[in-house]
A and B are shown apart, each in its own frame.
Chain A
Amino acid sequence: QVQLQESGPGLVKPSGTLSLTCTVSGGSISSNDWWSWVRQPLGKGLEWIGEMYHSGSSNYNPPLKSRVSISVDKSKNQFSLKVSSVTAADTAVYYCAKKSWELGVFDYWGQGTLVTVSS
């Protein structure tokens, strides 16, 4: 059973960089899956941020592409998210998730972590 766990600061200053890490257990990050980030402002809907394959291939949501970077650390079975130049609009619960290569579904999720952008 794959498990994912997000970690990182819960508070980021405006114009700073949001950094989160997702640790994968019960499975290998080198599996045939996409490793993804999804966010959800409180009380609102889900927004896909981007994804990376263990080979280094990546895809990003166009509105966020200029500010977002996702990387994979196979030695630690982790993947990470960086969002630069953050504003209050980036305040959200951030989820890491595994997306099935075959079906394109998000079949495993982390519990989510709230990141607040505030001075």
Chain B
Amino acid sequence: DIQMTQSPSSLSASVGDRVTITCRASQSISRSLNWYQQKPGKAPNLLIYAASSLQSGVPSRFGGSGSGTDFTLTISSLQPEDFATYFCQQSYSTPSFGQGTKVEIK
């Protein structure tokens, strides 16, 4: 099975900051990488699919890049509603998730 490793596990940032979260796969997964946002007490919400495609309704400040084993989620200008936990998920084989990155207010 494919292991997904995210870094950092948590970060502190201010409104307006540019934030970058990375996700590494234990083997090549082409571009089969998706990103989700989860707020406390809520289900995850799909942000990015196929490494860089923005899900309908997701603000354009969210962006994704990468291929193979290394991927990045970028929030270009952090907004108050973006403080949440972010998970990557590979869809190359049986699904697996990263351990999550919690974005906190600085």
Contacts and interface: CB of A to CB of B under 8 A. Distances in A.
Contacts of A106: 34, 36, 44, 46, 89, 95
A62 B96 CA distance: 12
B49 A109 contact: no
What is the interface of chain B mostly: helix, strand, loop, or mixed? loop
Contacts, number: 54
Given A45-B87, A106-B89, A95 B43 contact: yes
A45 B100 contact: yes
Interface residues of A, number: 20
B95 A109 contact: no
A9 B23 CA distance: 35
A106 B1 CA distance: 19
User: Sorted from nearest, which 9 A-B pairs have the closest CB atoms?
Assistant: A104-B91, A109-B43, A46-B97, A48-B95, A45-B99, A105-B49, A105-B34, A45-B100, A103-B49
